[in-house]
Amino acid sequence: MAPIDPVTVPRPGDVLTNEDIKRYFVVGNSGGMRRNIRGNLLVLISDPFKGMYQDRWNGDILHYTGMGPIGNQSLNYSQNRTLAQSPKSKISLHLLEALDPQKYTYVGEVNLIGPPFQEDQFDHTGQFRKVWMFPVKVKAGGKVPTPDEKQVRGIEESQAREARRLSTEELKRRAKEANKQPSVRTAQSTGYVRDAAVAEYVRRLANGKCDLCEKPAPFQNKVGEPYLESHHVIWLAKGGEDSITNTVALCANCHRKMHVLNDRHDRDKLAKCAVSRAAH
């Protein structure tokens, strides 16, 4: 591939490799925030395949997690400060998101549309800490990536692998502290990326049995675990929370039954199960 003029930027929707990003924007090839001082630009990369997913969409606004993998984050640290001061410095902000491993979809330019705010998240060592969240909005001409069903499942499976490595106690802490609103973006359809800790925690506490029919899972997955699917009693599309008080573990048959019939008596049974589980 021929060298790319560093002044030229890709088109929204283009899928880039890490090397493409380096050449397009003349930045380093690692990190979630990559700055080009001479070009007065900052590249933001949202990658759900690295650790437990923390960034989240709300329409065309991305709540982007700041830098600092361990301990409380500082607003004055490295590119956190650059991003926080971007409205005054007029630095160009370019956003990319990974919908597949090591493939980054160019969203376009974004603006910081409000003051950074703090929320509680877990760091890479499993400790609860304060992080800075930056609300960035896609500028006119940009394009919010819409993952297809395969990509959503790929993101969730990547998160699930991370969650399976955690102890039950660690899962419990993460699930109880999970943000109850899933990441959501709307285009021709609406896609949700659910919290892996919540899904894995309820499956683990189900102990291999379906929460609805109460029978053992009909088969095991490729790693020898009972196969159960997480289900939201009140669907996310109807305003339900992505939380352990609204999530159960079902066999594939009962899961399909709930999406076809959604019987009130079944919902009541599952709601009681979820609430009881959350109380422990």
Task: Please determine, for residue 191, whether its predicted confidence score (pLDDT) is greater than 60.
Answer: no
Q: How confident is the model at residue 192 (pLDDT cuts 50, 70, 90)?
A: low
Q: How confident is the model at residue 3 (pLDDT cuts 50, 70, 90)?
A: very low
Average pLDDT of the residues in 196-204: 90
Average pLDDT of the residues in 213-235: 94
pTM: predicted TM-score of the whole model, two decimal places: 0.69
* Residue 176, pLDDT score: 78
* Residue 53, pLDDT score: 57
In tens, the pLDDT along 43-54 reads 999 998 987 658
Average pLDDT of the residues in 13-40: 94
In tens, the pLDDT along 137-166 reads 999 999 999 888 788 888 888 888 888 888
How far is the C-alpha of 108 from the C-alpha of 95, rounded, in Å? 6
Single-letter residue type at 99: L
Percent with pLDDT over 70 in the chain = 91
Higher pLDDT, 158 or 80: 80
Set out the domains of the chain in order of their start, with CATH numbers: 15-138 (2.30.280.10), 149-278 (no CATH)
How far is the C-alpha of 92 from the C-alpha of 31, rounded, in Å? 18
